[in-house]
């Protein structure tokens, strides 16, 4: 029977994690979260190589809406160098959602449009 030592990779060292995250600029954290939301939304929209295998528009709606909220809330904190491509990616996801929906939402009612305004194709 083996014991787990404090140095084991299975042991979470919160002091180290806190120190590591403390060194990361806020903009980098925001952009990383946004990219993760974009990637997850693309999967749920069926935009990956697997296509429809993971498609789930209900889940995609939540992810796109969360991404739009994050980008809206962080607009003044993230430079246009970072924000512009994220906004472009968001709009692409919103358009893909509209295209994938059997019954499209009314303009302004799609995922994230509360924050971005209506998205038209």
pTM: 0.82
Measured between alpha carbons, how far is 34 from 42 in angstroms, rounded to an integer? 12
- Where does the chain show beta strands of DSSP type E? none
Q: HSE on the CB side for 25, CA within 13 Å? A: 6
Measured between alpha carbons, how far is 119 from 16 in angstroms, rounded to an integer? 43
Q: What is the pLDDT of residues 16-49, one digit of tens each?
A: 767 788 899 999 999 999 999 999 999 999 999 9
Q: Which residues of 19-44 are buried (b: 16+ CB within 10 A; e: fewer)?
A: eeeeeeeeeeebbeebeebbebbbbb
Q: Which residues of 52-74 are buried (b: 16+ CB within 10 A; e: fewer)?
A: eebbebeebbbbbbbbbebbeeb
Q: What is the pLDDT of residues 50-103, one digit of tens each?
A: 888 999 999 999 999 999 999 999 988 998 899 999 999 999 999 999 999 999
Q: What is the arithmetic mean of pLDDT over 108-120?
A: 95
- Per-residue model confidence (pLDDT) at position 9: 53
Measured between alpha carbons, how far is 94 from 105 in angstroms, rounded to an integer? 11
Residue of 57, 19, 63, 13 whose CA lies nearest to 40: 63
């Amino acid at each position: 029977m083996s014991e787990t030592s404090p140095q084991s990779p299975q042991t979470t060292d919160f002091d180290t994690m806190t120190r590591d995250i403390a060194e990361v600029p806020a903009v980098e954290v925001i952009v990383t979260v946004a990219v993760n939301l974009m990637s997850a939304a693309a999967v749920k929209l069926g935009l990956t190589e697997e296509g429809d295998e993971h498609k789930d528009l209900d889940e995609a709606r939540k992810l796109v809406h969360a991404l739009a909220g994050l980008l809206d809330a962080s607009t003044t904190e993230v430079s246009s160098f970072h924000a512009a491509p994220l906004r472009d990616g968001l709009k692409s996801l919103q358009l893909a959602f509209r295209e994938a929906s059997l019954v499209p939402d009314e303009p302004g009612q799609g995922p994230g449009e509360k924050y971005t305004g209506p998205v038209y194709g």
